[in-house]
Amino acid sequence: MKLPHRATLLAAALLLPTITHASDKALTDTLSAFTQCDASFFSSLQTHRAAWDALVPLKHEQNASWIAVENRNRDGQDSVPIQGTPQVAGMKLVSYFDQSADLDELGYYLFWGFIVDGRPDQVAQQLAPLLKHPEQLRPLGPTFVRSELRQGNSWQVIQPLKGAPGTARLERVLLLEPESSQSNRTRLSCSLQGATDKAAFAEVRPDIPASDYPQPAPATDITDAVVPDSVLKPLDVPLLQPKFASLRYTYATTKDNEKKSDPVTIEMTAEGGLLNKTEIYSPSFQVHRQIKADLIQLKSKMVGIGDGRVLVTQHADVQIPKDWTAGQTLSSRLLMENTPAKPGDERMTTQMTCTVGKRYPAAQVFATLTGDAIELSCEHGSYRSTSAFIEDLGVSFLLQSSSGGQYRYEVTALEVVR
């Protein structure tokens, strides 16, 4: 076998440190650009993509490159490991994450950054030489924060503000925080949060296409959302038919025998064997629902908070007894989706199993009620409840529940139109 010429080996040996040093400088330059929490990070990835391409999955477009995760909207798919955990400016980079969350009235949040070995105070010291103004990164308990507020066309460094930014203000934050209480790692992240809009996305995150910008969902009337016939037909049984035109009642809640809370008013109207229900918690907050006997939910919408969408039951596995004989069960497994849909939406599944118990006078629930009440002891996954099905009305009343405490519900006023 012919060996390489000695001069060739010497040249390679001399060149190797230069290549390694260049790669280290490229990574350091990009991490320094990252700390600005703006588009310069993605420009630096483009400039130094040869160095980063060996460490992470990169994508490129025109003047920007970015580290690609599978889905920033879904847990478990919003991070990628960094090959070899390179040491950059004294910090070992373990992984990269890119996450988003639409919290409705609390604002829209984008987080992107690195999991780094070491505690936040150690990482803050190592990061300081990369910052243009290291004094702006301030300790706040175990975390370090640089907070900026969008004012006009510029960003102003401010003291961190309490509470969520909501939809009234736009913030940009550099944050060092413990990854968890058990690990000796730091979550080094940038965030764009609050009243995000197209201009902010385009300025700070050039890697995100306009098609992925958060779109405000148009307010949807609950009557416009359609429940599939496959859900409705199995519920059309005599046992659960309403026997009134309208019902209005008020109840008070007691938790763990403490003082009663503010009363809640419930209004129901019967329509085609279903019930349209409004829960009035305050003048500014209500929940509208379409239900069957107040046991099975078909759709719901919050008014006063939330994003104006309707949660619709798209599939239901329901078992309904033929009568209210003690020991029988009523069960349901509901699969629900929000409409209109948004990227990253996840289906919601609820399960309930109710066992039929004793009969007793409905007047024990409220004095003017007639006939029998039928006890229903129900399991809803992690919590339990007790309801009274009022046979003369064809509707149930919640009496007790256990979820983070013991709750009792007392009907204090009731009006029925038959």
Q: Give the dihedral sign, CA 234/238/241/245.
A: positive
| Residue 392 pLDDT | 97
Q: What share of the chain is helix, strand, coil (3-state, %, to 5)?
A: 20, 45, 35
Q: What is the pLDDT of residue 103?
A: 82
Half-sphere exposure of 63 (CA within 13 A, CB side): 6
Residue 204 three-state SS: helix
User: In sequence order, what E strands does 180-228 have?
Assistant: 185-194
Q: How far is CA 192 from the centre of its chain?
A: 16
Helix (H, G, I), strand (E, B) or coil at 106: helix
Place of tokens 């924060």: 145
Query: Per residue, what are the HEC states of 7-63?
Result: HHHHHHHHHHHHHHHHHHHHHHHHHHHHCCCCCHHHHHHHHCHHHHCCCCCEEEECC
The reported pLDDT for the residue numbered 12 is 33
Beta bridge partners of 185: 117
Residue whose tokens read 């990227």: 343
For residue 216, cis peptide bond before it (omega within 30 degrees of 0): no
Which residues are within 8 A (CB) of 182 and not within 5 positions of it... i.e. 6 or more apart? none
Question: What residue ranges of the chain have pLDDT lower than 70?
Answer: 1-23, 216-219
Residue with tokens 């938790």: 255
pLDDT in tens, 86-123: 999 999 999 999 999 888 778 889 999 999 999 999 99
The CB density around residue 87, as the number of other CB atoms within 10 Å, is 13
CB of 123 within 8 A of CB of 176?
A: yes
The DSSP letter of residue 121 is H
> Cβ distance 378 to 400 under 8 Å?
no
Domain boundaries, the chain: 6-212, 222-417
- Return the sign of the alpha-carbon dihedral for residues 20, 24, 29, 31: positive
Beta-sheet pairing, 143-151 with 246-255: unpaired
| pLDDT tens digits, one per residue of 28-51 | 999 999 999 999 999 999 999 999
* Predicted pLDDT at 182: 79
**Predicted pLDDT of residue 18:** 33
Contact 211, 378 (CB under 8 A): no
Q: Name the residue with tokens 């509707």.
A: 395
For residue 178, what are the β-bridge partners?
Answer: 186
Which pLDDT does position 107 carry in this prediction? 86
pLDDT, one tens digit per residue, over 334-361 is 999 999 887 778 899 999 999 999 999 9
Element (H, E) at 122: helix 120-127
- pLDDT of amino acid 341: 85
**CB-hemisphere CA count at 13 Å for 356?**
18
